[in-house]
Structures are given as structure tokens and as C-alpha cells.
């Protein structure tokens, strides 16, 4: 589904975050992107969202080169990105209103777009029915993130991109939303790419874990985590072993991947 | 601003006025009661027409200012290039006291409402441009990126983010400018007109020496400003509900 080829990206006058970087993600997979601060995790997500353009190389999704935000991709940010002047209902409806605003032009809105009336469904599915008339400032952090998720899912995306979406939430709400995200991805057959700085979260959510190093990232280090999302995965030995491994990998600065102790390379 | 607070403040002012009038004890400062009696008498005697004319001029000036300045402020705030070129010009012109333009505007635009409305426009225009621009510049980039990820291009960003985000700034600019706008209205109505509260106050005080009627005009002008403050507050409560939730 996603194909990153020879990606190089740098902000002006800075060293490249990515240099000749390759990655391939299949439809329906759940990926965690992990790495130290400043390694380019969020930048990678923004590149996948079409909000940044590669300096060189290319990213294609479903064989189409990405040059702008794609109507079938949904992006969820750490600070929710909710409009403070709109109610929960209006925020969930926002993506639909944007699409209605443009109509099916194939650029901002899919060519085959038909106006939808699925807001109530997603409000109910995300447990927001009681707070539809509240403003973001009146609801909890967990409810805000649920609102952001409902807004994205109302557009029926096939790719969900999440940038540290649960980092500002308490432990119980975080785990609750992590589980909800996984079940929604399975339900809707979504491809998930979630950026996180928390090793435990990466190991809990991603069936594949991409570990980025300090810039520039050239090699792709991917760890397989096939049991992610399964019941009791967080209590399993495999989960703890993977967390330990990721801890070690992140603590040892290593620009060149070594063959031992890694989950594999692509 | 609560109505009770306004009433208490008005009562306090009336008491101070009454005491001062008793101390001064001259026709030039009549007691509040004398003024209120004349005020209601004068309402049917032309004061209401003068009030209506002034109100129309201020409202027209405000409306034109919002229609011109808000889109410009949004455009400057939403574009780095425009901000770089136009902001220095705004900064150069903004501090100039617009009252100095009264004779120039009257000279070029002559008698009638156009000159008076233009003066009010000049005052409000810069306030609104600067506040709306600041508001637009201060919109968190995450909010913009979030909407872009939903498919929004430039037009949708203006419709769904920049425009609603600028509403509080427009209303704040209007609120901040009401006092100055009414003051300039008074000055502009001293010349080349026979209608408006400025003309009425000047005519009653300086030509007829009818001081109770002059103060009745001052009270009317104060009510004009107060009404506009309340109007802006009402609009803010209606359009910016999110600012008043707890």
C-alpha cells in the first residue's frame, strides 16, 4: 500500500532526517514508529500525510505518488486538532463539511464521494453521544481524542496516521483508547501508522515496529511483533522481551545496524 | 459586563454629578434631574432624530470597516509574503491619530455622511486589521495541518479556521474602538451638517446656551456608546459561545 523509495528529506539548512530511506507497508498492517526525539518520527508521518514533500525520492500510496494530502488518509495529532469554537458534533462533522464544501473534485474530495450521514454512528461508536453539544474545552483529554478519531473515521479512510495521540492521557484512558484504536483498525481494515516515543505503546500496538535512529536515517530497522493487539499480549513474555530489546536498541547509539539482536531489516 | 454593574456605575456617576452640580451651582452644570427631564422632552423634539443619524453613521462606519479590514487582516495573517510587505505600512499608519484627518476628509469628501463615515472607518480599520492579522498569525499550525489532512485547501482553511478564529478579534477591535469612534463622530458632526448628536450638543451649548439640552445630548451620546458596547457583547455571546463556557 505504502511504498517509500530513496526518501531524502531535510528542513532548510539542517542535516537530512532521512537519506536514501526505503520502507514498504502493506494494507491492513499496524505499524509503530519509535525513536528518540528529533529523529524524524513526526516528519515521516507528515510526509505520509502529504503535508511535507520529500527533498528527493518519492512516497507512493496505492501506486500513486503522494504530492498533497490524500482524501483517504486520516491524520490524528497529539493535541487533537479540534476547533475550539465548534462543538463535539461540529468537530466530528468537520471533515464531511470540508468535502461538501469542495464537492467530489478528486483533489480535496474523492471523485466518487457521496454526502454521508454517518456522524451519529461514529459519535455513538466512540462513546460521545452524551457530549455532542459540548465544546472541546468542556470535555476530558480522552474525549477530545475520541472526537478527533471519530472525525477522521467519519471520512472512511483506509490509512490512519497517528502522531503520539495518547501521550497526554492518563494510563487507564491511554490503554482504553489504544485498544479501541486496534479494534477500529481491525473492524474497518485500516492500515495504521502510529508514531510514539513510548516503547511499551509501540510494542502494544504495532505488529511491525520501525525504529528510527538519530538523523540521518538511512537503514530501515523493523521489528516483527505478530502478537500485537491480541488479548493478554501486554502480559506476555514476548511483549516484555520485545520491550527490553527496544530499550537496549534505543539506549545504544548505533548508526550502523548489526545483524544480532535486531528484529530484521528491510 | 453585567447590567447590575452598569446600573450601579450609572448611579455612582449620577451621585457624583449631583454633588458637583450643587458645589458649582452654575447654569453651566445643571443637576442630573433637570437634564433627565429635558432629555425626555427633547427626545420628541428632534433629539431622537439626531441620535438616529449618529447611530447610522457609526454603524455604517463599523460595518464597512469590518467588511474591508477583516478580510485584509486575514489575508495578511495567512500569507507570509503579504505580512512582510503590508505590515510595515500598517505599522507606519496605525499610530497616526486619525482625528488629524478631520479637516482633510471634510475638504475632500465634503458635506454629507460620507466624510463622517469615512472618519469612523479610518479609526476602526487599523484596529481590526492589526487584531485580525495577529489572530490569524497566532493560529496553531497543528490546527491548520489537522484541517489540511481532512482535505482542506486554502479556501476551506479560510472558511473553517481563519474566519471563525478572527471573529473574537473583530469584536475586540470594535469594542476597543467604540469610545474613539464616538469621540471622532462628535468632532466630525461639528462641521457641515445639521444633524447628529455632535451638531446637537454644540448647537445647544454654544449657540443657544441651553445647557440642560446640551447635557441631554451628552447623555444621548453616552447611551449611543453604551448601546454599542452591549451590542458587541451580545454578538460575542451569540457568535463566540465557546468563550463563555466553563
pLDDT at A87: 94
pLDDT in tens, A70-103: 888 888 888 888 999 999 999 999 988 988 888 8
Of A144-148, B38-42, B173-177, which range is least confident?
A: B173-177
Q: What is the mean pLDDT of chain B?
A: 89
Average pLDDT over residues B35-64: 93
Q: Phi/psi of residue B180, each to 5°?
A: -65, -40
Nine-digit cell at A60?
A: 507512493
Is 50 exceeded by the pLDDT of residue B50? yes
Write out the H or E segment, with its range, that includes residue A7: strand A2-9
Is 80 exceeded by the pLDDT of residue A169? no
pLDDT at A177: 84
pLDDT at A38: 82
pLDDT at B1: 67
Of A193-202, A248-257, B40-49, which range is least confident?
A: A248-257
A103 contacts in chain B (CB < 8 Å): none
Average pLDDT over residues A120-138: 90
CA distance, residue B173 to nearest chain A CA (Å): 19
pLDDT in tens, B181-198: 888 888 888 877 889 999
Contact B156 A102 (CB under 8 A): yes
B148 vs A51, A151, A161: nearest CB: A51
pLDDT in tens, A19-68: 888 889 999 899 999 988 888 889 999 999 988 899 999 999 988 888 88
Cα–Cα distances in angstroms (integers) from residue A98 to residues A105, A232, B144, B245, in the given order? 12, 40, 13, 26
A111 contacts in chain B (CB < 8 Å): none
How far is B158 from B156, CA to CA, in rounded Å? 5
Is 70 exceeded by the pLDDT of residue A259? no
Please indicate if any CB of chain A lies within 8 Å of the CB of B246. yes
pLDDT at A191: 92
Is 70 exceeded by the pLDDT of residue A264? no
pLDDT band at residue A240 under the 50/70/90 scheme: confident
CA distance, residue B227 to nearest chain A CA (Å): 26
* pTM greater than the 0.90 cutoff: no
Is 50 exceeded by the pLDDT of residue A262? no
DSSP B244: G
Is 50 exceeded by the pLDDT of residue A257? no
Q: What is the ipTM of this complex?
A: 0.78
Q: How many interchain CB pairs under 8 A, A with B?
A: 80
Closest-CA residue in chain B for A139? B246
Closest-CA residue in chain B for A151? B150
pLDDT in tens, B76-120: 988 888 889 998 998 898 888 888 888 888 888 887 889 889 988
Q: Give domain limits for chain B.
A: 1-30, 35-244
How far is A104 from A98, CA to CA, in rounded Å? 11
Contact A71 B152 (CB under 8 A): no
How far is A122 from A180, CA to CA, in rounded Å? 13
pLDDT at A239: 84
DSSP A265: B
Contact A211, A249 (CB under 8 A): yes
Q: Phi/psi of residue A25, each to 5°?
A: -125, 130
Contact A220, A21 (CB under 8 A): yes
How far is B74 from A83, CA to CA, in rounded Å? 17
Is 50 exceeded by the pLDDT of residue A266? no
pLDDT at B77: 87
B160 contacts in chain A (CB < 8 Å): 83, 94, 97-98, 101
Is 60 exceeded by the pLDDT of residue A260? no
Tell me if the bond preceding A216 is cis, omega within 30° of 0.
yes
Nine-digit cell at A7?
A: 526518501
Please indicate if any CB of chain B lies within 8 Å of the CB of A104. no
**Which residue spans within chain B are E strands per DSSP?**
none
Q: What is the CATH number of domain B35-244?
A: 1.10.3720.10
Please indicate if any CB of chain B lies within 8 Å of the CB of A155. yes
- Is pLDDT larger for residue B51 or for residue A155? B51
CA distance, residue B239 to nearest chain A CA (Å): 9
Is 50 exceeded by the pLDDT of residue B150? yes
DSSP B143: H
Contact B116, B189 (CB under 8 A): yes
pLDDT at A127: 86
DSSP A214: S
Rg (CA), chain A: 19
B149 vs A51, A99, A109: nearest CB: A51
pLDDT in tens, B13-24: 999 999 999 999
Contact A75 B145 (CB under 8 A): yes
Nine-digit cell at B120?
A: 469612523
Please indicate if any CB of chain B lies within 8 Å of the CB of A74. yes
Amino acid at each position: 500500500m505504502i511504498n517509500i523509495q530513496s526518501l531524502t528529506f531535510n528542513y532548510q539548512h539542517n542535516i537530512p532526517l532521512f537519506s536514501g530511506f526505503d520502507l514498504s507497508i502493506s494494507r491492513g498492517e499496524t505499524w509503530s514508529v519509535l525513536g528518540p526525539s528529533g529523529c524524524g518520527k513526526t516528519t515521516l508521518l507528515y510526509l505520509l500525510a502529504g503535508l511535507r514533500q520529500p527533498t528527493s525520492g518519492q512516497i507512493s500510496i496505492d501506486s500513486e505518488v503522494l504530492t498533497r494530502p490524500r482524501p483517504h488518509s486520516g491524520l490524528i495529532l497529539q493535541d487533537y486538532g479540534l476547533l475550539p469554537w465548534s462543538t463535539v458534533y461540529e468537530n466530528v462533522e468537520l471533515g464531511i463539511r470540508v468535502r461538501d464544501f469542495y464537492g467530489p473534485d478528486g483533489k480535496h474530495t474523492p471523485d466518487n464521494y457521496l454526502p454521508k450521514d454517518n456522524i451519529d454512528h461514529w459519535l455513538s461508536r466512540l462513546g460521545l453521544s452524551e457530549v455532542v453539544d459540548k465544546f472541546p474545552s468542556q470535555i476530558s483529554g480522552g474525549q477530545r481524542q475520541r472526537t478527533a478519531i471519530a472525525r477522521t473515521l467519519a471520512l472512511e479512510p483506509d490509512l490512519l496516521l497517528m502522531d503520539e495521540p495518547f501521550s497526554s492521557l492518563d494510563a487507564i484512558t491511554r490503554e482504553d483508547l489504544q485498544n479501541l484504536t486496534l479494534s477500529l483498525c481491525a473492524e474497518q481494515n485500516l492500515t495504521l501508522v502510529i508514531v510514539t516515543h513510548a516503547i511499551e505503546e509501540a510494542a502494544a500496538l504495532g505488529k511491525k515496529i520501525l525504529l528510527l535512529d538519530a538523523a540521518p536515517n538511512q537503514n530501515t530497522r523493523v521489528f516483527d511483533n505478530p502478537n500485537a493487539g491480541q488479548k493478554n499480549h501486554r502480559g506476555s513474555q514476548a511483549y516484555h522481551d520485545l520491550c527490553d530489546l527496544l530499550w537496549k536498541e534505543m539506549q545504544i547509539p548505533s548508526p550502523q545496524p548489526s545483524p544480532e539482536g535486531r528484529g530484521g531489516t528491510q | 459586563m453585567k447590567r447590575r454593574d452598569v446600573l450601579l456605575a450609572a448611579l455612582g456617576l449620577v451621585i457624583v454629578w449631583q454633588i458637583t452640580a450643587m458645589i458649582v451651582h452654575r447654569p453651566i452644570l445643571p443637576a442630573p434631574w433637570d437634564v433627565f427631564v429635558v432629555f425626555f422632552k427633547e427626545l420628541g423634539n428632534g433629539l431622537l432624530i439626531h441620535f438616529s443619524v449618529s447611530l447610522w453613521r457609526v454603524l455604517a462606519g463599523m460595518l464597512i470597516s469590518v467588511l474591508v479590514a477583516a478580510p485584509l487582516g486575514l489575508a495578511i495573517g495567512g500569507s507570509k509574503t503579504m505580512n512582510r510587505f503590508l505590515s510595515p505600512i500598517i505599522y507606519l499608519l496605525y499610530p497616526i491619530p486619525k482625528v488629524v484627518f478631520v479637516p482633510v476628509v471634510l475638504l475632500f469628501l465634503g458635506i454629507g455622511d460620507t466624510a463622517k463615515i469615512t472618519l469612523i472607518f479610518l479609526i476602526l480599520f487599523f484596529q481590526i486589521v492589526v487584531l485580525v492579522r495577529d489572530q490569524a498569525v497566532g493560529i496553531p499550525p497543528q490546527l491548520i495541518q489537522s484541517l489540511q489532512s481532512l482535505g482542506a485547501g486554502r479556501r476551506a482553511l479560510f472558511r473553517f479556521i481563519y474566519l471563525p478564529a478572527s471573529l473574537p478579534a473583530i469584536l475586540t477591535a470594535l469594542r476597543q474602538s467604540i469610545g474613539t469612534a464616538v469621540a471622532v463622530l462628535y468632532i466630525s458632526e461639528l462641521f457641515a451638517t445639521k444633524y447628529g448628536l455632535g451638531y446637537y450638543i454644540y448647537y445647544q451649548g454654544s449657540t443657544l446656551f441651553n445647557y440642560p439640552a446640551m447635557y441631554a445630548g451628552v447623555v444621548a451620546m453616552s447611551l449611543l456608546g453604551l448601546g454599542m458596547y452591549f451590542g458587541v457583547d451580545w454578538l460575542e455571546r451569540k457568535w463566540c459561545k465557546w468563550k463563555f463556557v466553563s
